[in-house]
Amino acid sequence: MDVVRPQSLAENVAFIDGFSGCGKSLVAPVLSSLDRGELWLLDHKFEYFLTLAHFGEMKKSAAKAMIRLQADTDIYNLMIARNTNFRVSDDSSAAANLLEERYRRRLSRPDGDAVTALVLEKRPILYVMTHFIFDISGLLFEAMGARMKAFVLCVRHPLWLIDAWYQGRWDERIGRDGREFQLCYERDGSVWPWFAFGWEEEYSRLSPLERSIRTVARYIDRSRSFREELSPSDRDKVVIVPFEPFAEDPGPYLERLSACLETAPTEETARVLEHVNVPRVHEPGYLEAKKESFEALAKEQGLSPEGWLLVQTLCEDYENAYLEGR
């Protein structure tokens, strides 16, 4: 028996993914402001389905059915403001994305077949934010097929990613902190975060800073390899949005994303851009200052020569790809 979801409701879906601290929360509100855009969602269930299937702990047919079902559930609930986040202090709330009035109105909207008809007529865009699962998202592309219009891959200079992971103490929190929600696995009496699979010995012996560096490096390397393995049609759906160029000039990226999503900026887009302080001008020497700050941290923590070399390689690759001439 294969679990299936033969019908569909959410026909226009985009995923926003990237490592912690890469700028997903900067890009997502702008996307929600585009024509037919809905409030972006933090829905961890997509991550869980992919992770479980990746480890063979969930049948692939079941994972694909659940991915399709969750997308349809999410768009239906958004259309009637069910489970909508109205916490003003949250980046993912309707208020923080300047959409509170829209979803307040929907609270009194009847549910049922009229909502289904509205979705099919208006073709709303469902935006789902995930956390560093691009390299295991093959099943996501399979499950959504033509319904996935774009996979927005947010990237940022590695020093900010490493610092965000290290300062967040994620290696200490995952599997221990009740307010942390990553999946883990148990092997030989030890608990590991899902992304440590296959390099547990190295993960366990590294210092917190070197573990942060290696975690970032593996995600970047695996994401690059996965993108190269995608079919040409799926690769075209992947839109890489580097934080620094987007923050300075979002125009080219919005043009590309609008084409993928068959949408366009609205009057609200300008308001949202101003709200998130985009475009912005980076202070002269901001990158040099970050490098000096990281160098001080690395010396304090006794970063190994191998760690230094890896950091330098990551920085050079990123700067050559996205910051050349800056």
190-204 pLDDT, tens digit per residue, is 999 999 999 999 999
Residue 1 has what pLDDT? 86
* 326 has pLDDT over 80: no
Determine the Cα–Cα distance for residues 280 and 315; give it in Å rounded to an integer: 22
Dihedral over Cα of 131, 137, 139, 145: its sign? positive
Residue 176 has what pLDDT? 92
Percent of the chain with pLDDT over 70: 99
> What are the extents of the domains in the chain?
13-322
Residue 325 has what pLDDT? 59
Determine the Cα–Cα distance for residues 119 and 139; give it in Å rounded to an integer: 25
273-315: pLDDT as tens digits: 999 999 999 999 999 999 999 999 999 999 999 999 999 999 9
The H-or-E segment that residue 82 falls in is: none
Q: How far is CA 198 from the centre of its chain?
A: 23
Domain at 13-322, CATH class: alpha beta
Mean pLDDT of the chain: 96
Answer for the pair 238, 151: CB distance below 8 angstroms, yes or no: yes
Select from 77, 68, 241 the least CA-distant residue to 146: 68
27-80: pLDDT as tens digits: 999 999 999 999 999 999 999 999 999 999 999 999 999 999 999 999 999 999
Mean pLDDT of 125-148: 97
223-262: pLDDT as tens digits: 999 999 999 999 999 999 999 999 999 999 999 999 999 9
171 pLDDT band, cuts 50/70/90, is confident
Residue 24 has what pLDDT? 97
- Residue 267, number of CB atoms within 10 A of its CB: 7
72-130: pLDDT as tens digits: 999 999 999 999 999 999 999 999 999 999 999 999 989 999 999 999 999 999 999 99
Exposure b/e, 208-240, CB count within 10 A at least 16 = b: ebbbbbbbbbbbbeebeeebeebeeebeebbbb
Query: Which pTM was predicted?
Result: 0.96
